[in-house]
Amino acid sequence: PEIDVADWKASTVYTDGLVPESDVVMWFWAIVEGMDQAEQAVVLHFVTGSSRAPADGFTQLMGYGGNHARFTIGMAAAGHPNRLPAAATCFNK
């Protein structure tokens, strides 16, 4: 199945002061949208633990223990400019 990036974006939750219009958020989505399906699947696997989108859309992402856990973009370790991207796959972050 194809990864629907528009659905992924629309279903994303933003925390730590980020909003869809934040520079880092717009950069993230621009990069993901520029990827082919195989590359998008790698990113999806990195952030969720699965390379496949949920059959019923991204609002149905499951987290640890089978609970719904929407994909979330937040600022981890703010103030550490050299920190590499991190993911918490059990919570879709």
- The predicted-structure confidence for 17-30, as pLDDT tens digits, reads as follows 889 998 889 999 99
**Whether the model pTM is above 0.85:** no
Q: Provide the pLDDT for residue 56.
A: 87
Give catalytic status of residue 93 as yes or no: no
Q: Provide the pLDDT for residue 83.
A: 67
Q: Provide the pLDDT for residue 85.
A: 62
- The predicted-structure confidence for 37-59, as pLDDT tens digits, reads as follows 999 999 999 888 888 888 888 88
Q: Taking the CA atoms of 26, 92, 6 and 53 in sequence, report the sign of the dihedral they define.
A: positive
DSSP string, 35-93: S-HHHHHHHHHHHHS-SS--TT-GGG-B-GGG-B---EE--TTTT-TTPPP---TTTT-
Task: Read off the amino acid at residue 4.
Answer: D
**Of the listed 58, 90, 91, 92, which one is catalytic?**
90
| Greatest C-alpha distance within the chain | 38
